[in-house]
Every structure is written in C-alpha cells, then in structure tokens.
Amino acid sequence: MRLSNVFFAAGIVLSLPGMAFAEGDAEAGKKVFKKCAACHVVDSDKKKVGPSLQGVIGRTAGTKEGFKYSKVMIAAGEDGLVWDDEALKGYLANPKKYMKGNKMSFAGLKKEADLANVIAYLKQFTPAE
C-alpha cells in the first residue's frame, strides 16, 4: 500500500466519529428530548425546573434571563463557556462530572447517537444568525 493511501485511510477513520456526531437526526432527538422535558422546554421562553433551552446553541452558560443558576454555571459563563456542539456533548453526557456543583440532577445521555440527535433537535429552536 502506498504511503499516501495510508494517510488517506487514516484521515477517513479519524474523521468518522466527528462526522457521525455532527450529523444528528433532529426527529430522533425529539424522542430523546422527552428525557429532558420534565425540566426544560424548547419551543417557548418558559422556565420550568430548568431554564428554557430555546436558543441555547450559542448562548453563554448561566445567562438565560429569569432563571436562577448555580454559582458554578454563572462562573462557567463568565469564564467564556458558550453552548456549542462540543460543550453540550460534554455536559449532556455527564453534567455532574462536566461541571461539578451545577444544579442539574440528570445522570446524562450515554449513547453518542442520543447526544448527536438531541443537539440536532435543539438546533431547530435556535434562531439562525
């Protein structure tokens, strides 16, 4: 096998996990979001136990007006945490580990597909810039 073919094949293999994650299925994410719906809404600005997740993509952590966040969530936002795909993936996989001291009691989504799908679903409720 030629060296260029090895590098080409390695590039494909290394890009697959990122590609699979980035291409979540919003319809499947709607089903995953049912695990979140006891505490969050996405289709309005209404708060529940947790803040509305409408427009969460691109939002600075701890800044949704009208919601009382934990000190660590506010500090994370002040330190520059913005909810993008990677930050949401890390947080939603294990909220307590990702941000020790936050108030969210959810255990996390363990499947990569569930993470990708719920993030794709959340994107539907974030206005385009």
CA gap 69, 5 in Å, rounded? 51
DSSP-H helix ranges across the chain: 3-22, 26-32, 71-78, 85-93, 95-98, 112-123
Summarize the confidence of residues 99-125 as an average pLDDT: 96
pTM for the full model?
0.80
115, 26 Cβ separation under 8 angstroms: no
pLDDT of residue 22: 52
Specify whether the CB–CB gap between 74 and 62 falls below 8 A. yes
Q: Percentage of residues in the chain with pLDDT exceeding 70?
A: 81
Residue 16's pLDDT is: 44
pLDDT digits (tens, 9 = 90+) for 56-107: 999 999 999 999 999 999 999 999 999 999 999 999 999 999 999 999 999 9
Q: Assess whether pLDDT exceeds 90 at residue 3.
A: no
The pLDDT score that the predictor gives to residue 18 is 41
| 21 contacts 115 by C-beta, under 8 angstroms | yes
